[in-house]
Chains A and B, each alone.
Chain A
């Protein structure tokens, strides 16, 4: 095999792998990409029920109701709020008034069914999306919660 042939083989193999990867990425990315919305986004944009997304904001004070293993609470960006229901054990750092990110789907009645409530390792840390959302809604105070 000459140098040229070898290079051709190398390039072909690389193109094949890259092509396969591109095809996989393109088919996967639309179904698996999870958008991040705040309660205010839900009011202004139409998010189809059943579409999986992440909801972020603060846990509204006084909204947490525990019914056995199911928990209901509201997520707010201090402009709008959205009711959430979740079955399972909440992360240790889940608190009223603290930042939270929940992943799940809206039902036709506008109730958010969370399948996952994300845990943070550090309570000083606020999810970046939540901080940005609060900045956007004008309720961000510098030095608040985050370090």
Chain B
């Protein structure tokens, strides 16, 4: 009964979404308030119905109802409860249901929190949101029904891919989807604004919190995925430039550009058409990501077994959404006239530069990701575009961007003083140079110290530059302590958000540079009692223990002790696990971290003479990548609590006053 309830609720949700997509849209063009206001209860009803469907599927998983095909294929009674629940979205059908669930959650969010929105804008945005909903619910019902029954029901299920049975990956898809789908809000508002033909500061202010929330979730989702890859794949790497990783990275780049250009719309009332275009592109890239992952057109270490019918459906959705919205954009963009001055040397000028570089970066990632598809389609041979391409194309584009990131915030709106900004950044420049020179001297023996010195210098430039900007705003050391505290209190949260996020990126850059430049890898056969030297640590294989029982696996567990100068640092237990259902081996690396670097141990196959192949890594500064990503998310969340999103209705008439107050 429960799966049928879920299925039925999903069908009802489809009808509600159809109503929500049409009636408020017609109402908005006729100016009929009652028709427009239907969008709010419809969004709530849609959310409740999809929540029932999602809850039904979760119940099937929790109770291990193997008469449901999806549960039988992806779950097992021996699986720990935590993974029974996360198993709901660890497969295609369930993850698409999670997708529409989150979509309707955002829709309800706008309906509930959007009391101060103009009724027509709200009606249109919710209608566009419902159109996306219709597409994806149809996709689920027609090609990927998670509630299909299986008769006769098997005694037990096929189990879940053991690689996915991991806390990092349990939260990775929901966070990623909160990000992907969150950008649908910016998209819906952009389409609504195009229909209205009006984009202004108030519009940017309404869209910004949703984009910010999506950005935070996406950043966290990508970070979790990278962390998971780092500790479960046993390769010691955290980013592979794999098509599926790129699929999540492209909307992140475009979304980051969108966040920055919407500031210009809000503060300077210009760059409007560009911002609308970015909103469309960001969501299209999110859909493209869904298509790439779901269709299996690209070979990827992440590829799910795929079904061409699904790929075609998602591709059709992508074409309709992107094509339709870009067509609308071409007709209406001309009506979005920007106001005021626009000087190249100004805060808005540097934000524009950021936008251009971010979009170009996203473009090169897109090219590299899709290139193998083109060459295959044109019979130019099968190729793969890997890390070397992205490293030599994408990274050089990011260098000028990071350099401007320190300068931009120092500039005034309207008319900036580049020489003045640079002279105020003297400290940052000197420190960055000092860090680079020190790195170069200290790491002189390494193979690639020169670019590593550049990387750390760049990170220092960004970090110190960001700190200088903050110190100037609160007049640190230039006024009494009381005044300083007062200024700290008065600085808007969004300013703190920017400072924290930019500083977080500096931390990430340190991590990326360090782990790439100074990683040590040792692969060898070790017998119990053997000791290997890794980056100054003496790592001893004390012994191994076979058939260690786990909840749904048995493991070969090794015991390593790491010593430094005779002092015991850590005892590490990497495992090689053999899962019972599905019968599949996985590698569980042991990581000892001191936040400066990670000692990373992997136990491999026995060599037949009592020894084991082992892999030992020292990964310097890797924790900084994940800590930096968390700092960036934290900065985004601080910015989200800014007063201007919480207080009062941002009326369109108030925009001049607001602009004057900020100038």
Q: Interface of A with B (CB < 8 Å)?
A: 1, 6, 9-10, 13-14, 17-18, 20-21, 24-25, 27-29, 31-36, 54, 66, 68-69, 87-90, 92-93, 101, 103, 118-125, 127-129, 132, 146-147
Given contacts A32-B388, A69-B613, A119-B235, 18 further A-B contacts (CB under 8 A): A1-B341, A1-B343, A9-B342, A20-B360, A20-B397, A21-B364, A24-B392, A25-B393, A28-B389, A31-B392, A33-B383, A34-B384, A68-B607, A90-B605, A122-B303, A123-B582, A125-B303, A128-B296
CB distance from B69 to the nearest CB of A (A): 14
Specify which chain A residues have a CB less than 8 angstroms from the CB of B585 in the assembled complex.
92-93
Chain B interface residue count, CB cutoff 8 Å, equals: 57
When chains A and B are docked, how far (Å) is the Cα of A25 from the Cα of B397? Answer: 11
Q: Are B161 and A1 closer than 8 Å at their CB atoms?
A: no
Q: How far is the CA of A31 from the CA of B393 in the complex (A)?
A: 12
* Pair A24/B393 contact, Cβ less than 8 Å: yes
B586 touches A92 (CB 8 A): yes
Do A32 and B392 touch (CB < 8 A)?
yes
The one of B371, B382, B525 that contacts A68, using a Cβ cutoff of 8 Å: B525
Q: How many A-B pairs fall under 8 Å by CB?
A: 133
A119 touches B364 (CB 8 A): no
Q: Do B385 and A25 touch across chains, with their CB atoms under 8 A apart?
A: no
CA distance A120 to B586 in the complex (A): 11
Contacting B615 at CB < 8 Å: which of A14, A25, A35, A88?
A88
* A9→B586 CA distance, assembly (Å): 54
B295 to chain A, nearest CB (A): 11
Supposing A28-B389, A54-B384 touch, asked if A93 and B303 sit within 8 A by C-beta, the answer is no
Q: Which residue of A lies closest to B521 (CB)?
A: A88
Residues in B with CB closer than 8 Å to A101 are 299
In the complex, chain B residues 586-620 whose Cβ is within 8 Å of any chain A Cβ? 586-587, 602, 604-605, 607-608, 611, 613-615
When A and B form their complex, which 6 residue pairs have the shortest distance between CB atoms, in order from nearest?
A: A36-B382, A32-B388, A89-B604, A32-B389, A147-B305, A28-B392
Residues of B with Cβ closer than 8 Å to A?
Answer: 161, 163-164, 233-235, 296, 299, 301-305, 341-344, 352-353, 356-357, 359-360, 363-364, 367, 371, 381-386, 388-389, 392-393, 396-397, 523-525, 576, 582, 584-587, 602, 604-605, 607-608, 611, 613-615
Q: Judge whether A122 and B607 touch: CB under 8 Å.
A: no
Distance, CA A36 to CA B376, complexed state (A): 11
CB-CB under 8 A for A32 and B584, given A21-B393, A21-B397, A118-B301: no
Shortest Cβ distance from residue B386 to the other chain A in the assembled complex, whole angstroms: 6
Contact B305 A24 (CB under 8 A): no
Q: A21-B397, A88-B523 are in contact. Are A36 and B381 (CB under 8 A)?
A: yes
With both chains docked as a complex, state the minimum distance between the C-beta of B511 and any C-beta of chain A, in angstroms: 23
- Distance in Å from the Cβ of A1 to the closest Cβ of chain B? 5
- B385 and A33 contacting across the interface, CB-CB below 8 Å: yes
Given contacts A121-B301, A122-B304, A125-B303, contact A24 B396 (CB under 8 A): yes
Query: Which residues on B sit within 8 Å (CB–CB) of A89?
Result: 234, 523, 587, 602, 604-605, 613-615
In the complex, are the beta carbons of A17 and B584 less than 8 A apart? no
B residues near A123, Cβ cutoff 8 Å: 582, 584
Smallest CB-CB separation from B609: which chain A residue?
Answer: A68
